[in-house]
Structure 1
């Protein structure tokens, strides 16, 4: 992701130096022409909206979440790539926490509430989360 971000940053710097910052009229002008460049731009716009919505949702629609969503919408991969690297490092590679964020705790509590029957033993929890071998157990046939 870091290499992708560096390539994007370099490319963007070259484009800005040659063409300036007048992206929006070109971007929406292509969409208005109903050609392939416009179709690509509209498709990309959908990804920007999706990125912004996910960023806001992941952070619980708080004030900071809405600010990050705005940055995600206008920053595109320039924001999303370093943000995902940051989250991956902060969450120590736990992709559930990277993707779900503020909702991780409420989802795990919700899952516990839905569970029927007695609480599982520590061995049962270990098996369900890691498999037999990681728990130092072996399968047996009765």
Structure 2
């Protein structure tokens, strides 16, 4: 589990640095590049894959959390890995290092919710 957590932190640092660079060079509201790239074949595939990943991640968080107030944790997933990686990192601790509890949530993964 330690190697997995280190990977999560490393990936989060890398994506955060890339995001800061993008905002510094293009500005925080220049999302037009994302939407206009759908006219280019490979960029459309990459962006479409990213959108599918975001929807899958939101569905996974909603499934894992079970209760409506906690399902709202899925909404910031539209931020992508900047949000999802810290969520998974914290979940590795709340699941007490058990992968079944990490993937399914504590109640479904064999841990009691205290």
Q: Normalising to structure 2: TM-score of the pair?
A: 0.81
Residues 114-133 of structure 1: matches in 2 within 5 Å?
Answer: none
Which structure is larger by alpha-carbon Rg, 1 or 2?
Answer: 1
Whether the 8 Å CA contact 1:60–1:103 is kept in 2: the answer is: no
**Which of structures 1 and 2 has the larger relative contact order (alpha carbons within 8 angstroms, sep 6+)?**
2
Aligned length: 104
* Whole-angstrom CA distance in 1 between matches of 2:70 and 2:16: 25
Where does residue 17 of structure 2 map in the other structure? 10
**CA displacement 1:43-85 (0-9 Å, x = unmatched):** 11100100011111111151321x211111x121111111111
1:97–1:39 Cα change, 3 Å: same
* Whole-angstrom CA distance in 2 between matches of 1:56 and 1:45: 17
Q: Normalising to structure 1: TM-score of the pair?
A: 0.66
Q: Mind listing any 5+ residue stretches in structure 1 that lack a counterpart?
A: 109-142
1:19 is displaced (CA, Å) by 0.3
Q: Once superposed, which parts of structure 1, at least 4 consecutive aligned residues long, lie more than 2 Å away? A: 22-25
2:102 to 95, 98, 102: 98
